[in-house]
Structure 1
Amino acid sequence: MDRGEGCEIHENAYWDLQTYLGLRENLAVNEGARSFIHESSRKRTPLGHAHREHVRDLSIEQIREMYRQAVSRLLDRVADTEEFFRAGIVAIDITESDPFTGDRAGHEDEIIGTKEKTDEYAYQWATIQLVGNAVPIVLDARPVRKGDTRKEIVEDLLDSAEATVHVDNVLMDREFDSQNILEMISQRGLSYVVPKRMQTSEKAQAKRLLKRGKDRYETDRKFHLADNEWHSTTLIYRRKENSEHTDHRQYSVFMTNRKSGLLSEYGYQWEIESGYKSIKRFMGATTSKDFGLRFFYFAFACLLYSIWRAVDLLVQVQLTGEYEHSPIVTADNMLTLVKKETGIG
């Protein structure tokens, strides 16, 4: 933070306050700042309005750079453990805030709607996260604005992730099933598994499989890119167990540029959705329409989540010599640890 000279309140007090907000559900900054005065061990702490003003002064790029630096330090800490390097799988996805119910005039490029194409509006954020056997650290986050293409989002997040960790495989939801995105990933030497939205040809194939009673089917496919350029991929049809449907909807279609065994890894994609639920628990409450402030709250929540999961990794390795994905350190445990180490309430 650039607060000029002669500031009486230490910069870390602002980070302490944001952590305090994040470790309590739905706590807004004004109320949180009043409570923080009594619970902090610091002599001087920021007031709510001062905290907001300093956060608003940060640009999106400044927030992202601060986040990447913090995650880099976190990765350096967990990199000492063998368990951290067991997988190079990342998942990319987009999440959204609770539906926005106020007047979005002047903010139409930022409060852009929901992924389900309803008549509601919401802020959207994209992240890239380690999944699989690795500790589920959120490597980077970025806001999603009107006009941002899915390819731009994926390329940006992969650039950031590959500058930090080794990446082998990329998992994404079906909203990223564009052949141009898949080609870009292949050109980087990475593998991918992405579910495909079923068009007429896929529905027809699924109907034939259903008629034949086949549970699985693979076929190579080329998708047109431009002029004489094509993207080659493999389509894998898989019949869902205990499906509620009786027609072709029993089947899901996945695309991959590697051997079909990678399909089993797609199950790790749910981890990013599960992570979003915890991340949102770490977010401070706000009604502000300031885009930078909103993103800062989300990014800081991603950092708290990542710290929690990194602490859990270190504790598990210390106690058992192994890392099981299900955490033994709860979010409440982390609150106790933070309070003990920092005096944050």
Structure 2
Amino acid sequence: MTDAMIPFESLEDPYWGDHPEIYEFEVMLRSFIYGELRGIRYHQDLADFLERNPTIAFTLGFKPDFGPENEYPALNVFQTPKTPHQTTITRCANKRFLAQAERFITDVADRVEAYCRRHTHLVEMHELWSETDDTNPGESEEKLDPDGLTKEQIRRLVNELMRHVCPNISFQRGVSKQIRKNLFLEVIAHCGLTNSSVYGGGDVFDIYLCPEEEELPHGRTFFDHMEGIALEEMLEMFDAAVESMVGGAKDIGLYDRPVDLAIDVTTVKYTGIGKSFSFQTLADPDSDEWSKRERSEAKAAIEEWELEPIVGEDPADIKHANFDNLEKRAAARRVKDCVRWVNGTKDQDEEIAYGFQFAAAAFAEHTCPMIYGVKPINNRTGDELAGHVRQFVERAQDLVVVDTVYMDAAYGRCSEVHNLFHYGHGFRTGDRFDVEYVTKVPERSRGRREVLEERYKIEHRFEDGKTALSIKRNYGFGDQHSGTGNAHTTLVAVKKWSVDTVADKVTDRVVFATNHQGEDPVELMRFINGYRDRWVIENGFKEVKKFLAETRSSSEKPRLFYFLFAVLLFNVWMLIDRVAKKRLGMEFAGEPIIKFEVFVAAVANFMRPVD
């Protein structure tokens, strides 16, 4: 591979100009070809292989970790080559290797394989994982019992599937070499699985799981290290782990057909200073009606976020920022902006119950639900929500073939979101997805009321005793006077799933928006009913929160990291269950045969470092 002639004049590196300190394009390309020939399929496996094989890394062109390369090559064995982290390899594949380079890599591998077959040579084209425990390679896997997996079998499955996660989550940067690799990851996994903090849960880990000669870092060290990881880097590590999981899922026959997507927003409860008090405590922070803690937190928040102008004002006015005085209005608006990514929950009235909010996207597949995308929400502007949808759909298209996109009502109110999808009239521009979508229309939407009451032009009207369907096509967003705007959709009113018979066409029905162009009303209703698959992500959120490590931190970085890691643990649980079902010859869908409590015990008790 080192001496092979490569036509670099035909391959472009668009990343080099803005990032001149990155690894050489030629070295990365030769490494990818080498990995393809060796059958190293996943980016984290290639990173681990290069790190474990310094001689091969030097031969491929990687430089020593410190100082210039020795002029005597034989002395390089005393140095360690600086090899790329998995996120660097993924970034190279996504941003440096254009279509020509990707085709070149696969073409070389195909030609070499064909040559070897013609000349009866052997080449390692497929390195498959062993189904035995890596820590005991001589031990054979006993036959799986469909009536109940043994603890040892589950542990082996856990160790096998955690290989998708651990190599992609790096805590090694800037950490003292005296701290064992993956110790941070093991402790946080333990805390997530036991819903404890790095303080209390860390103490339990130190007593029961940490080797006697090993000293566990202080809990504050964990937070300091998470604060040192850039937000973009956290999301890149998460994307890399998900990409590896999707590859593992495809290996057992999952996602082999077009996949539906579910996009939703979830809230993680926040109880830190500035968010656990009410509008009433802000209005009268010295009242004897409040507990000592409520008074203390209200006064601390008033001082920290400069809320003095609204102290003593009416709680309702504070909630709605209903002030003519600009200073008071600005202070009222700061109440929800004082912590990044924290927003008020929709089911609260006069109380300020705030939480960290995340947009998330999942494969809405009952065969194996998987949350593949996460973005923190700073505020719910149309531009921000539309940006999340665009990134989620594009990311999914890189991983699977996308069928239909189902979105929560938060997205149904934004013309910017509807405008991302081709509606079916006129030419489709390149910035619009040629994908069908369904989103629920919010309760207070003007268009929702128009369709339910069948105002203006309704193409299909509700017929008692037949279909409880009303359809308004070519509905325009934007200009409330003309009814037209920069986005168009079809509004469809259907019977609520919780209602047997429609007695009132307004209260017993719900409205959806879609770009589906079906002319048959009954077929359109069947298409809308597919929205129920979106509940896959709702159920997923409930399970993900079982994996959240506990924290009262107001910092967004630990909050994001904990949520991302909880999602990865949920995905591993789903994938492990499907791998077990595959080996047992069972159907993928249905209740997990590896129950949540069993999975938690397996990971918490048998978490092993991945070197």
Change over 3 Å in CA distance of 1:5–1:125 after alignment to 2:
closer
Q: Are 2:406 and 1:171 equivalent residues in the alignment?
A: yes
Identify the residue that residue 136 of structure 1 maps to in structure 2.
369
Partner of 1:83: helix, strand, or coil? coil
Identify the residue that residue 182 of structure 1 maps to in structure 2.
418
Deviations 1:87-115 (A, max 9, x none): 41110111011253622555344322223
Change over 3 Å in CA distance of 1:101–1:192 after alignment to 2:
same
Q: Are 2:473 and 1:238 equivalent residues in the alignment?
A: no
Q: Are 2:476 and 1:224 equivalent residues in the alignment?
A: yes
Q: Are 2:392 and 1:157 equivalent residues in the alignment?
A: yes
Among candidates 235, 239, 251, match of residue 509 of structure 2: 251
Displacement of 1:229: 6.5
2: distance between equivalents of 1:2 and 1:51?
Answer: 12
Displacement of 1:293: 0.7
Q: Are 2:342 and 1:111 equivalent residues in the alignment?
A: yes
Identify the residue that residue 594 of structure 2 maps to in structure 1.
329
TM-score (norm: length of structure 1): 0.88
2: distance between equivalents of 1:221 and 1:234?
Answer: 4
* Worse-matched range after superposition: 221-230 or 177-186: 221-230
Q: Which runs of 5+ in 1 are unaligned?
A: none
2: distance between equivalents of 1:229 and 1:275?
Answer: 35
Change over 3 Å in CA distance of 1:231–1:147 after alignment to 2:
closer
Bigger Rg over Cα: 2
1: distance between equivalents of 2:262 and 2:498?
Answer: 26
Change over 3 Å in CA distance of 1:338–1:100 after alignment to 2:
closer
Deviations 1:258-311 (A, max 9, x none): 242322321111111111111111000001101111111111101110110111
* Worse-matched range after superposition: 60-69 or 145-154: 145-154
Would you say the 8 A contact 1:126–1:153 is kept in 2? yes
Identify the residue that residue 221 of structure 2 maps to in structure 1.
50
Among candidates 183, 191, 198, match of residue 436 of structure 2: 191
Would you say the 8 A contact 1:88–1:167 is kept in 2? yes
Identify the residue that residue 310 of structure 1 maps to in structure 2.
575
1: distance between equivalents of 2:586 and 2:341?
Answer: 46
Q: Are 2:210 and 1:38 equivalent residues in the alignment?
A: no
Change over 3 Å in CA distance of 1:231–1:6 after alignment to 2:
closer
Identify the residue that residue 204 of structure 1 maps to in structure 2.
453
Displacement of 1:35: 1.1
Identify the residue that residue 62 of structure 1 maps to in structure 2.
233
Q: Which has the higher contact order (CA 8 A, sep 6+)?
A: 1
Would you say the 8 A contact 1:112–1:146 is kept in 2? yes
* Worse-matched range after superposition: 76-85 or 291-300: 76-85
Q: Are 2:171 and 1:8 equivalent residues in the alignment?
A: no
Among candidates 278, 289, 296, match of residue 554 of structure 2: 289
Deviations 1:130-185 (A, max 9, x none): 11334111101111113653212222322333233322211111121133312203
Equivalent pairs counted in the alignment come to 343
Kindly indicate which of the two structures has a greater share of residues assigned to strand: 1
2: distance between equivalents of 1:225 and 1:179?
Answer: 6
Would you say the 8 A contact 2:265–2:360 is kept in 1? yes
Identify the residue that residue 17 of structure 1 maps to in structure 2.
187
Would you say the 8 A contact 1:179–1:223 is kept in 2? no
Matched-pair identity in %:
23
Partner of 1:155: helix, strand, or coil? helix
* Worse-matched range after superposition: 293-302 or 85-94: 85-94
Would you say the 8 A contact 1:68–1:140 is kept in 2? yes
Displacement of 1:126: 1.0
